[in-house]
Amino acid sequence: MQNTAEYCCAYCGEPNVTFIDLSAGTQQSYVEDCQVCCQPNLLFIYLDEDTLDIQIHSEPES
């Protein structure tokens, strides 16, 4: 079972890996700082209930 996902920082574009809490529901959002430039990214996570595939999207935190 996959419990990590990779996203690109909305500020610097560098790839980041984050842990996903599969028990937190099929739609999640939270803020996580980039591991490279330390800017806050607003992450949107979508989990497919049947396949457990993870989609992740990042935006700059306003």
62 band by pLDDT with thresholds 50, 70 and 90 = confident
What is the Cβ-side half-sphere exposure of residue 49, based on CA atoms within 13 angstroms? 3
Any idea where the domains of the chain sit in the sequence?
4-60
CA 56 to chain centre: 5
2 band by pLDDT with thresholds 50, 70 and 90 = low
Instruction: Give the separation between CA 62 and CA 31, rounded to whole angstroms.
Output: 11
Instruction: Give the separation between CA 30 and CA 41, rounded to whole angstroms.
Output: 8
pLDDT tens for each residue of 16-60: 999 999 899 999 999 999 999 999 999 999 999 899 899 999 999
Q: Reply yes or no on whether the pLDDT at 1 is more than 80.
A: no
